[in-house]
Structures are given as structure tokens and as C-alpha cells.
Amino acid sequence: MAIHPTALVDPNASVAPSAEIGPYSIVGPEVEIGAGTRLLAHVYVEGPTRIGEDNIFYPYSTVGVASQDLKYKGERAETRIGNRNRIREFVTIHRGTQGGGLLTAIGDDNLLMAYVHVAHDVRIGNHTVLANGVTVGGHVEVGDWAVIGAFTGIHQFCRIGRHAMIGGYTVVTQDVLPFSLTVSERPAKVFGANRTGLERRCFPKETIEALQRALRILTRSGLNTSQAVERIRAEGPVCAEVEELLEFIRTSERGVIK
């Protein structure tokens, strides 16, 4: 393994032979770092933390540190990060707490840009992009392929649906619908399906149009949410993606942005 002479790696850490620990990085006990992962410089990692393969951590990022939650009393909690993630400068990732299952987890192929904050007990899926300065509150769930614009703040316990795109500087206090394009215009509104993102990911045209129709009914028909859901179902069979949209609404505990 390539460990810079200025780096400090605890003897109780497990570092794969092909991993790289750059200058002035600190790796604590109970940290596992997988093959091909690189800590470029000045990266700080506390355990228990498990990091997969081929990740890149840029300078001054911190991983696995104690939660800022005032209810956190030092209980043993973990951080898990998958494979092929890019963690940019000054990103902070906090470990879990007793109240959230003792785990903060990030999947595979994600990009966390500079100054992103990932709070305790957050679950981030795969292929997401969190732009500069995004703040993710505790217990938030971010679905696969979500794109979150710069300086967006996400309230604790909110969910971000799959393939959603959130515009920059948005304040998220309720669940964000999957497949939607959502942005704060004080207040936040849905502007239709995330058509460009869905096209890039090769969703069929018919599926995109079905989502657009469903979102139009939800947001522009003048109906309340329950009435809109009834109309969507009444207009005929729904595809799997529209069904996912409706199930997301049904299971929302905070209400959804419309």
C-alpha cells in the first residue's frame, strides 16, 4: 500500500494493499479502506467506518466523525461508503446515532461536491450528485440518480425520490417526488417531470409522457392530492414509474411538494 510518510494510520485500521493514503491524512482505528481507494491529502477518517473500492477523497474531507445531534451520547455507530464515489474538498460525513439505526450509509458511484454536509443516519443511494454546499439533515433518504443543486438545504427526515432533480438554493421541508424537477420559487414547486434526466437515462418516451401527465394532474388540476391520485388512476392503467410516484405519495409522512 502507498502511505505517505506524513500520514497517520492506526495499527487497528485495515487498508487494502492497492489503496493510497496521502500526505497528512489521518486514519483511525476500526476503519476499513478497500482496494484502489485514494485519500489524496489532509483527509480525516474515524471508525467504525467501512469504505469500499476505487473511491477518491479530496483534501480536507472528514468521514465518520461524531454527530452534531445533541442527543448523541457517544454510542457506537458506523459509517459505510460503497464503491467509486468522489468525495470533494471539505465534505463532512457524520456517523449514525441510536435514534437512526446507528448507521450513515452512502452507496456507489456518487459525486459529493465541495462543502457538502451529510448528517447522521442519512442514507444516500447510487449515482447521485450533490452539488456544492448541499446540506443534508439527519435521517434523510436520497434515492438513486437524484441530482441536488448547489446550496440546497434538506430538512431532517425528508425523502428525495429516485431520479428527482432539485434546483439550486432550494429549501426542502417535505418529501421530493421521484422523477420530478423541483425548485424553490419561494415556495418550492414542481415544474413537471425531470424530462432531460429521464431521457439521458433511456426511459421510454411513453413513460416520460405518462409521468408528465400524472405530475400535471397533481400540480395544475386544482384538485387536492387525494382527488388528483384518484383521477390519475381513473384515466387508465398506470406504468410502473407512475405507480412508484403514487406509492411515494401514499407513504409520505411529511406531505409532498407540489
Per-residue pLDDT averaged across 238-258, rounded?
Answer: 93
pLDDT of residue 191: 82
Domains, the chain: 2-142 (2.160.10.10), 198-250 (1.20.1180.10)
Q: What is the pLDDT of residue 1?
A: 64
CB-count exposure of residue 89 (10 Å: 0-12, 13-18, 19+): middle
Give the tens place of pLDDT for each residue, 3-28.
Answer: 999 999 999 999 999 999 999 999 99
Question: What is the spatial distance between Cα 196 and Cα 175, in angstroms, rounded to a whole number?
Answer: 21
Of the listed ranges 31-35, 92-96, 217-221, the least confidently predicted one is: 217-221
Mean pLDDT of 218-243: 92
From 22, 100, 138, 149, active-site residue: 138
User: What pTM was estimated for this model as a whole?
Assistant: 0.88
Q: Which stretch of DSSP H or E encloses residue 57?
A: strand 56-57
Q: Is 149 a catalytic residue?
A: no
* Band of residue 188 on the pLDDT scale cut at 50, 70, 90: confident
Please give, one letter per residue, the 3-state secondary structure of 111-170.
EECCCCEECCCCEECCCCEECCCCEECCCCEECCCCEECCCCEECCCCEECCCCEECCCC
Flag whether pLDDT at 189 surpasses 90. Answer: no
CB 242 within 8 A of CB 175: no
47, 121, 137, 163: which one is catalytic? 121
Q: Is 94 a catalytic residue?
A: no
Note the Cα 6 to chain centre separation in Å: 32
Angle 29-34-40 from CA coordinates, rounded to 5°: 80
State the catalytic residue, choosing from 42, 117, 120, 127. Answer: 120
Quick check: 237 pLDDT over 90?
no
Which residue's entry shows cell 445533541? Answer: 70
pLDDT confidence tier of residue 258, bands split at 50, 70 and 90: confident
Helix extents (H) in the chain: 195-200, 205-220, 225-234, 240-250
Whether 138 is a known active-site residue: answer: yes
Q: What is the pLDDT of residue 42?
A: 98
